Amino acid sequence: MHATKKLWTWLAIICLLSFSVLGWVGREIYLKAPPIAQVVDDTGSVLYTADQVKYGQSAWLSAGGQQLGTVWGHGSYLAPDWSADWLHREVVALQDLFARKDFNKDYALLETGAKAHVDALVKAELRTNTYVAETNEVKLSAIRAEAVRTVAAHYAGLFGDVAQYDKLREQYAMPKNSLPEATDRAALTGFFFWSSWAAAADRPGETGLSYTSNWPHEPLIGNTPTAGAGIWSIASVILMIGAIAGMLFFHSRHKEEDDPVPPKNDPLFSLKATPSMKATKKYFLVVIGLILAQVGMGVITAHFAVEGTSFFGIELGNILPFTVSRTIHTQFAVLWIATAWLATGLYIAPAISGVEPKFQKLGADVLFYALLFIVVGSTATGWLGTLQHKGVDFSFWLGNQGLEFTSMGRVWQILLFIGLLFWAFLLGRGLWPALKKPSESRGIIAMVFLAALCIGGFYATSLTWGKGTHYSMIEYWRWWLVHLWVEGFFEVFATAVIALLFTRLGLIRAASANSAIILETIVFLFGGILGTLHHLYFTGTPTSVIAIGAMFSALEVVPLSLIGMEAYRNYKRSQAAPWVGAYKWAILCFIAVGFWNTVGAGLLGFSINTPIALYYMQGMNMTAAHGHAALFGVYGMLGIGLMLFCLRGLVDRFAWSDALLAKMFWFMNIGLAMMVFMSLVPAGIYQAVAAITKGMWYARSPEVVHSAFMENAVWMRVPGDVVFAIGCLFLALFALRLIGKAKKEETVAQGVALEN
């Protein structure tokens, strides 16, 4: 008990210090972010007001935002990174303008020496910071103002309905009139200009260092990786190797206890499901429905990368634009995983405490229908808002906010936050009898409850930004939600729940599990909290973000060095006694989590997490490879494993079908591996080469994205997608079998009752 108290103390200290540093970094981002200013030319004419730039950000988000290309590398992978694209177009425009001014020729017709002269002028024009703090103005020369107007006309036509951009819209999977109002399009160009200006202009008092640490790569103006990006990348790799060595040394010195001799019979066999436990069955059926919907939207979204707005010749983009299909695909992924974990919490609370609180079933039912209303309502309003171009206010409050993984409107976010707090309340009152009672497993139960409180409380970070919040701060808070909420506290919750279930089955000792869970949480959060910053290297943040993010994201990989050992132990536990076979496929899902943690989160994650790697690969298909392998492979398989564990106690064991689950398991995992390594990884490497050799704008251009290699890479997803989809269908068949058996039993029971 004394050792466990010390571990709890260390956990509290690490969380307090880590969040203090994360809060300090947020303050620094707020103070040092690129200023949003009025843009004027040297005659004093206003190109953009500061309010226009702010409104342009909202206009872009309402048109699809991070589901329609990226800004500073965050968003979808089909349309361009608009900041990189604007920057390159402005460079080209300035080259021609300077060439005509000094040599009366287009840039392409100049001799080498003349080109060098023009290149120097262009570089100086873009890298010189002309921001005047006293008047909050960015002053442009006449020649640059002309270039800005030229580039702005391109984007105004592209987001409107100008016919000359029809082919480009098709390549970007954009509908006509993404922004029907001319005032919105004008403001949009102001936001794109600002994001590009911040990417090129030197920070005050610095030379050769832009607000975005020289991202994106644009060799024409000297936007190349900083020395800090290289140094901290090397330092992070050295730290990771040293920390892994230390972890292995610690593990060798502190040998884990052997697992106990398992009981002769299943301890949970006689567990009688309470009304609230039975109420979770419908949650799991919705989980399976959301999986099928997510996979369907994923197929459509991937195909848009080839045909633009069509699906095998059908003009599907008119009723289901790319921005909508991708929003549903990414949003449903988070929602079904979260629903599986929420239902698991409601199921285990009475099972662990042995007490069914009054009105607990009513609470579970109310929460279910509330969550269903939020899922259906947010999806419908987001879809309709996009099709009918409802505008900025509707998009922010009810429609699609345009932010990846957290796109639902603010009203739906508030309702979901209330729902999560209600879930934490239901879980807490269910676990309270067990928390009050001294027992060896009380520490694990406490960890489950604390993780649930964090899941409910930390969703409040989705409410921290408004329509006019600076884009750097939106990204700061968004990654609190995506990284800390999904990748942090949900994982702590799931790990504690798994340990609790194994303890109840008698497969691990409660005393050793107590210490192990707290220690695992310490190791994970020590790197995970500040590792959040690796998402923010180039989003208008100070260079300290690169240093802290690089070092701590390297530490996120350290616990994965022992994943193989844990997976092997879980495999041995699945063979500990004949009755454990009843939980075979749930346990194998947890083993798959270990594999994908190593491959998806570890190998593919660290391949892009160092500053120098992410500099060239941010916002491209290597990120998608990591995202698919980690999100489904780790969190998805965790959700499915927990679901199977709960369903085992909710349905008649004669209705169970291991044959269907075996096919589900292998088809899903093999299909995911095929999808990642036959399609996404090759495409990501191809784009990285393009970014290194010519620049980020080129890697995201139609010339690369719609090249023969990239389109063939999309088609190479088909075999993996088909195999994966078959696995999902076997899961659906498994669910239908359970429903059919349940209805048959109910009919038989009613018949017996009538006879009596």
CB atoms within 10 A of CB 392: 21
Q: What is the distance between the alpha carbons of residues 574 and 505, in angstroms, rounded to a whole number? A: 11
User: Which residues fall within 8 angstroms of residue 452, CB to CB, at 6 or more apart?
Assistant: 345, 423, 424, 427, 428, 493
**H helix or E strand, kind and range, residue 132:** strand 131-132
CB atoms within 10 A of CB 420: 23
According to the model, what pLDDT value does residue 1 have? 44
Give the helix ranges, DSSP H, for 33-81: 50-62
Q: Which residue ranges make up each domain of the chain?
A: 37-226, 577-740
According to the model, what pLDDT value does residue 281 have? 95
pLDDT-flagged residues of the chain (< 70): 1-3, 256, 742-756
According to the model, what pLDDT value does residue 2 have? 47
User: Can you give the pTM of this predicted structure?
Assistant: 0.95
185-217 pLDDT tens trace = 999 999 999 999 999 999 999 999 999 999 999
Contact 371, 426 (CB under 8 A): no
- State the number of CA atoms in the 13 A half-sphere of 131 facing the CB: 20
Distances in whole angstroms, Cα of residue 491 to Cα of each of 203, 484, 727: 38, 10, 24
Residue 590 φ/ψ, nearest 5 degrees: -65, -35
Q: Is 249 left (phi over 0), alpha (psi -120 to 50) or beta?
A: alpha
Beta strands in 146-210 (DSSP E): none
113-132 pLDDT tens trace = 999 999 999 999 999 999 99
Return the structure tokens found at 80: 């361009």
User: Which residues fall within 8 angstroms of residue 124, CB to CB, at 6 or more apart?
Assistant: none
